[in-house]
Structure 1
Amino acid sequence: MVELILGLDEAGKGPVIGPMIIAGCLIEKKDESSLRRLEVKDSKLVTKKRREYLEEEIKKVVRSFEIVICEAEEIDSTNSAGINLIELEARKFAEIINKLNKGTEKIKIIIDCPSIGIKSWTDQLKTKIKNLSNLEFVIEHKADVNYLAVAAASILAKCERERKMDLLKEKYGNEIGSGYCADPLTMKFVEKFALKFGKEGLFRNSWATWKNACIKLKQVELEF
């Protein structure tokens, strides 16, 4: 019997600019040797150039893959509806599982858990999955480091986010940086343009980073 593994991971959970990407890679157990030969690792451990090479090679190895794009506007709208990012991730992970699970073969689902509470998040995830009968779950922290299928998913997610960020840079300039709050270039851009571009779906308007920047900019306007 063919042993199937579905590894899932995300990229762009925390930034104030740009989308969050969820990816899933469905592989046969025997294909782990191919991923190992490629030296597939968690996306954070390889360079951009190497990620782009691995992305194409991973797509050749896996049985199938799915990518879900969650734009800043969707993150904001679900937040406004009382759905936090952790629950939104559970919904998106389940969406991929439901797409790739045909219900005819046993699949081991491996996910890099986005929540501190692994059991409660796993229980939440399972409520959103249509068919559980053929699924086995491995939900762990650092799964992107410990499991090849998850590492492969992390690379697909990261590459997709980088393409999305490149498109945003074409429109708004390289000054948007990486989109992460720890990036001084990004923070400088947010602090300057939070109001001007605030309604264009660029920023995560539900983030305190954007809200605080808007408050400061409005205060400056009042002073003048």
Structure 2
Amino acid sequence: MGQTVIKVDRKTLEAIDRYYQQSKSNKQPPHTVFVAKHNGCTITAYQSGKVLFQGSEHASEAAKWDANPQTNKKQHNVESHSKAVLTKDHIGSDEAGTGDYFGPITVAAVYADERQQALLRELGVKDSKSMNDKTIASIVQDILKTDIIYSTVTLNNEKYNQLKQQNWSQTRMKAWMHHNAIDHVINKLNDMTPSGIVIDQFCEPGVYYNKIKASDARPHNDITFLTKAESQSTCVAAASMLARYRFVQEMEQLSKKVGFTLQKGSSNQVDRQIKQLINTKGESFLNQVGKVHFGNTQKAKKLSLDS
């Protein structure tokens, strides 16, 4: 099993603690802040500031918090264009729903010039990790009234599970979704060429390009891959909010479908809801609402009826 270890300061450790709040395990070994299971990874945060990521998506999950993770596998050099693009017109993209058992993966891409970026910031667009879904929805309603060009792509659960059966990794799915969202925005720009593209880095650039090529597509040029891109690019921050807003909308529809409010994340509460659905609708129904390869499925099947 691959792993990545990063060292963070106290402020970042607190941010990581909040981010994985819904995915935490009840077990807490000595000298740790928490243990969580998220996005196919086990995350162990230590009081020393070290954070250990273990699992199939260890590198991409760790990359959310550290630009230079120490891994037990040789990594490609980070291929990133000049950050000067951040002060110019550009396309930014980000995703939501990757670590949630219930609901789809959503990706959004946003193009904005310097004037539009200033307006977005006035509307409250910034790194949304500390915002709740109600605040994000309110800001998104204002974003949608502007003249920015954007696109959202949604991968529903049935298609997600089908691709997993065809041996698609979540990284490949995300790469393909980012590519298509960006492609849609470029097509809407007609003959105008953006100064660049910024993607919130979820895997090594070389891996991203290989995943796109594996689907017989041609990767876009001038891509800048940045960890914590939400805090650096207004376009990525806006894309993150749009992706989250779209994810929450989809979760609300799925909740109506099952008859109760589905929990976000991958916590023990999610396990109990999975068990409830298995008991009332049958295990096959999970394909319509969840990412069935997550460990939550097997944990839920072992729960007793009164758990």
d(CA) in 2 for partners of 1:131, 1:74: 23
- Identify which of 192, 207, 216 aligns with 2:294: 207
Report the TM-score, using the length of structure 1 for normalisation: 0.83
Instruction: Please list every run of 5 or more consecutive structure 1 residues that lacks an aligned counterpart in the other structure.
Output: none
Q: Could you say which residue in structure 2 is the equivalent of 1:188?
A: 272
Q: Could you say which residue in structure 2 is the equivalent of 1:94?
A: 179
Q: Could you say which residue in structure 2 is the equivalent of 1:44?
A: 129
State how many pairs are aligned. Answer: 210
Residues 207 and 131 (structure 1), Cα distance of their counterparts in 2 relative to 1, 3 Å cut: closer
1:63 aligns with 2:148: yes
Residues 160 and 70 (structure 1), Cα distance of their counterparts in 2 relative to 1, 3 Å cut: same
**Deviation of residue 30 (structure 1)?**
2.3
**Deviation of residue 146 (structure 1)?**
1.8
1:196-224 deviation line (CA, Å, top 9, x unaligned): 3432311222222213423x26xx69xxx
- Equivalences for 1:5-84 in 2 at 5 Å? 5-84=90-169
Q: Secondary structure at the match of 1:43?
A: coil
Residues 39 and 125 (structure 1), Cα distance of their counterparts in 2 relative to 1, 3 Å cut: farther
What code does the residue aligned with 1:188 have? R
Q: Secondary structure at the match of 1:44?
A: coil
What code does the residue aligned with 1:89 have? K
What code does the residue aligned with 1:205 have? V
**Deviation of residue 73 (structure 1)?**
1.4
Q: Secondary structure at the match of 1:9?
A: strand
What code does the residue aligned with 2:193 have? K
Q: Could you say which residue in structure 2 is the equivalent of 1:163?
A: 249
Q: Percent identity?
A: 21
**Deviation of residue 62 (structure 1)?**
4.5
- Do 1:90 and 1:124's aligned partners in 2 also have CA atoms closer than 8 Å? no
d(CA) in 2 for partners of 1:89, 1:58: 24
What code does the residue aligned with 1:186 have? V
Instruction: Please list every run of 5 or more consecutive structure 2 residues that lacks an aligned counterpart in the other structure.
Output: 1-87
Report the TM-score, using the length of structure 2 for normalisation: 0.62
**Deviation of residue 131 (structure 1)?**
7.0
Q: Secondary structure at the match of 1:110?
A: strand
- Identify which of 105, 113, 121 aligns with 2:192: 105
What code does the residue aligned with 1:149 have? C
Structure 1 vs Structure 2 CA RMSD: 2.3
- Do 2:106 and 2:153's aligned partners in 1 also have CA atoms closer than 8 Å? yes
d(CA) in 1 for partners of 2:116, 2:246: 23
**Deviation of residue 130 (structure 1)?**
4.2
- Identify which of 177, 184, 202 aligns with 2:263: 177
